[in-house]
């Protein structure tokens, strides 16, 4: 029996531009694929992402591997640095300034790179990123963009002191077996440790195989953006019915090849669950927001992009912190946000003719990655 190949770096796309060891690891994993079409697609993805350098991803990598700071910085050249608008650059300067003392010897170098990024020309990589993933189907998915949001559904605020209790009630409802059966048939109900943090954000699901811990974990962020019943339920549908069930199926299937960085597969599935399994009108409302965002897919005007992001996030009812986060992801993690939308739209089309259980069954003997073109 051949050895199982797993790419365990979930954000490898945004680090291979400066981390040559990681790039070689991804290349070796791709070349291990016996299926030549999948091998070709993964090598294409590696080539595209190796052509860009994200200052935010660099900070991520430095914090995770401080002992490799000189090595990682040595892998950077100025002409591949991603354009970073002033509002995003300002937030990154704060992050750089707050790096621990052990990074004092490289802070100036990172700051100079950020200065270059702020002056860099914006290059729209979206077509290069997603054409190898979806092929000709990409045009059909992009045609689903909308010019307006659905009306915002009524929602109920959660009292600050009742937040944890409400989280547990919503989880109990979502983890009812009828919800799991509805989307995936008989699959193990996800088990995880729950942690509530007083920070900006919505939620994160960390499977044990990524976090290298003994248990899966679900982190819920307690803040005004997340303190609405409908928002919380769609968020938890994304994280638990989406990511939680995905990793249960993945562990039970143990595919011979699995890429934890397969953004369209992993986040697309979770977003489909957010839209269609959350059992709230907010699911369709957030769907309309993502489809509206597709209008920026080919946009090259930075001013228009920033204005559009600000308008969309405001229409969703979120705070300035959410706007800053959306800006950061658009410019520093190209394609990441669109992977949610495009993966989910592809699955909507797929599930017209089949169902999620049959789809995942069809992948049992195939490599798991962003190989939609072959499915």
How is residue 140 written in tokens? Answer: 């059909």
Of 72-76, 108-112, 265-269, 300-304, the one with minimum mean pLDDT is: 72-76
> 304: number of CA atoms within 13 Å, CB side?
9
Q: Evaluate if residue 75 carries a pLDDT over 90.
A: no
Element (H, E) at 7: strand 5-7
Of the candidates 238, 324, 233, the one whose C-alpha atom is nearest the C-alpha of residue 282 is 233
Of the candidates 80, 245, 223, the one whose C-alpha atom is nearest the C-alpha of residue 158 is 223
Q: pLDDT tens-digit profile of 217-244?
A: 999 999 988 899 999 999 999 999 999 9
Confidence category of residue 3, pLDDT binned at 50, 70, 90: confident
Provide the pLDDT for residue 334: 98
How is residue 119 written in tokens? Answer: 């002056």
Provide the pLDDT for residue 2: 65
pLDDT (average), residues 60-71: 92
Q: pLDDT tens-digit profile of 79-137?
A: 799 999 999 999 999 999 998 888 888 999 999 999 999 999 999 999 999 999 999 99
How far does Cα 223 stand from its chain's mean position? 21
> What is the DSSP code string of 127-193?
HHHHHHHHTTHHHHHHTT--SSPPPPPP--B--GGGHHHHHHHHHHHHTSHHHHHHHHSS-PPP--E
Provide the pLDDT for residue 341: 98
Residues 259 and 245: their CA atoms lie apart, in Å, by: 17
pLDDT (average), residues 352-372: 92
Confidence category of residue 35, pLDDT binned at 50, 70, 90: confident
Answer with the residue of higher pLDDT: 187 or 368: 368
Residues 135 and 150: their CA atoms lie apart, in Å, by: 29
> What is the DSSP code string of 43-107?
HHHHHHHTT-B-HHHHHHHHHH-GGGHHHHHHT--GGGBPP--HHHHHHHHHHHHTS-GGGHHHH
pLDDT > 90: what percent of the chain?
Answer: 78
pLDDT (average), residues 173-177: 77
How is residue 172 written in tokens? Answer: 């109990």
- Report yes or no: 212 and 243 within 8 Å, Cβ to Cβ: no
Q: Evaluate if residue 279 carries a pLDDT over 80.
A: no
- Report yes or no: 153 and 281 within 8 Å, Cβ to Cβ: yes
Q: Evaluate if residue 348 carries a pLDDT over 90.
A: yes
Q: Evaluate if residue 290 carries a pLDDT over 50.
A: yes
Of 50-64, 67-81, 109-123, 233-247, the one with minimum mean pLDDT is: 67-81
CA 83 to each of CA 52, 89, 328, 350, 358: distance values in angstroms, whole numbers, following the listed order: 10, 9, 11, 35, 42
Q: Evaluate if residue 258 carries a pLDDT over 70.
A: yes
Q: Which residues of 69-108 are buried (b: 16+ CB within 10 A; e: fewer)?
A: beebbebbeeebbbbbbeebbebbbebbeebeeebeebee
Q: What is the dihedral of CA 303, 309, 315, 319, to 10 degrees?
A: -110
> What is the DSSP code string of 204-255?
EEE-HHHHTSSS-EEEEE-SGGG-BHHHHHHHHIIIIIIIIHHHHHHHHH--
The residues near 249 (Cβ < 8 Å, ≥ 6 apart) are 184, 187, 360
Of the candidates 93, 286, 342, 313, the one whose C-alpha atom is nearest the C-alpha of residue 200 is 313
Answer with the residue of higher pLDDT: 52 or 174: 52
Of 12-26, 78-92, 141-155, 272-286, the one with minimum mean pLDDT is: 272-286
Provide the pLDDT for residue 103: 87
Q: Evaluate if residue 29 carries a pLDDT over 80.
A: yes
Rounded to the nearest integer, the mean pLDDT of the chain is: 92
pTM of the predicted model, to two decimals? 0.94
Residues 167, 170, 173, 175: is their CA dihedral positive or negative? negative
Q: Evaluate if residue 1 carries a pLDDT over 50.
A: no
Q: Evaluate if residue 52 carries a pLDDT over 80.
A: yes
Confidence category of residue 60, pLDDT binned at 50, 70, 90: very high
Phi, psi of 326 (to 5 degrees): -65, -40
CB atoms within 10 A of CB 212: 8
């Amino acid at each position: 029996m051949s050895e199982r190949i797993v790419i365990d770096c979930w954000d490898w796309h945004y680090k291979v531009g400066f981390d040559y060891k990681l790039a070689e690891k991804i290349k070796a994993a791709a070349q291990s694929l016996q299926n030549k079409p999948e091998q070709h697609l993964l090598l294409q993805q590696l080539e595209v992402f190796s052509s860009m350098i994200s200052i935010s991803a660099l900070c991520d990598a430095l914090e995770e591997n401080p002992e490799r700071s000189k090595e990682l910085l040595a892998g950077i050249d100025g002409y591949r640095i991603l354009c970073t608008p002033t509002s995003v650059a300002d937030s990154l300067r704060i992050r750089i300034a707050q790096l621990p003392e052990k990074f004092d010897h490289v802070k100036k170098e990172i700051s100079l790179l950020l200065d270059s990024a702020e002056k860099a020309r914006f290059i729209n990589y979206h077509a290069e990123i997603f054409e190898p993933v979806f092929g000709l189907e990409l045009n059909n998915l992009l045609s689903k963009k909308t010019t307006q949001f659905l009306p915002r559904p009524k929602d109920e605020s959660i009292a600050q002191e009742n937040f944890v209790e409400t989280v547990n009630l919503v989880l109990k409802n979502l983890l009812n077996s009828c919800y799991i059966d509805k989307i995936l048939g008989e699959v193990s109900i996800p088990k995880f440790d729950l942690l509530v943090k007083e920070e900006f954000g919505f939620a994160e699901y960390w499977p044990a195989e990524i976090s290298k811990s003994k248990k899966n974990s679900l982190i819920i962020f307690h803040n005004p953006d997340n303190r609405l019943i409908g928002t919380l339920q769609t968020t938890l549908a994304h994280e638990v019915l989406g990511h939680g069930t995905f990793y249960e199926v993945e562990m039970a299937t143990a595919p011979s090849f699995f890429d934890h960085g397969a953004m369209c597969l992993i986040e697309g599935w979770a977003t489909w669950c957010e839209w269609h399994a959350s059992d709230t009108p907010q699911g369709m409302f957030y769907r309309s927001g993502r489809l509206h965002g597709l209008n920026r897919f080919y946009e090259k005007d930075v001013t228009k992009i920033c204005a559009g992001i600000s308008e969309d996030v405001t229409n969703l009812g979120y705070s300035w912190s959410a706007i800053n986060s959306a800006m950061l992801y658009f410019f520093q993690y190209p394609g990441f946000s669109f992977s949610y939308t495009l993966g989910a739209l592809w699955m909507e089309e797929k599930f017209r003719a089949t169902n999620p259980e049959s789809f995942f069954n069809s992948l049992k003997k195939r490599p798991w990655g962003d190989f939609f073109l072959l499915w």
